Amino acid sequence: MAKSIGTVDILVDSCKGCELCIPVCPPKVLVMSKAVNAIGFRYPELRDGCTGCELCAEICPDYCFEVFRGRAAEAGEVSA
């Protein structure tokens, strides 16, 4: 298992399933869900190994990502 040095909070119900975040993720830790959100779209799910690079947040047209790095990510502390 890869050590995560970052994490992301994904606003699932804001996602329109464009999948732009999937190929841009360098460690390939984002995968599309099989489930759908409240508006009927599949959404990205995070696997272990996030580096906190922020490319997902930069490419997302719907601002669905909040990226955390360092101590908060290591402790699993993600603010809402």
> What pLDDT shows up at residue 4?
63
Q: What is the mean pLDDT of residues 36-64?
A: 97
76 lies in a domain?
no
Report whether pLDDT(70) > 90: no
* pLDDT score for 5: 87
Tokens of residue 7, six digits: 């994490």
Q: Are the beta carbons of 9 and 78 closer than 8 angstroms?
A: yes
| 73 is a domain residue | no
Residue 79 falls inside a structural domain: no
* Residues spanned by the domain of 36: 6-66
Share the mean pLDDT of the chain: 88
C-alpha closest to that of 68 among 49, 46, 47, 51 = 51
Residue with the bigger pLDDT between 35 and 1: it is: 35
User: Has residue 72 been placed in a domain?
Assistant: no
Domain assignment present for 10: yes
Q: Could you give the number of structural domains in the chain?
A: 1
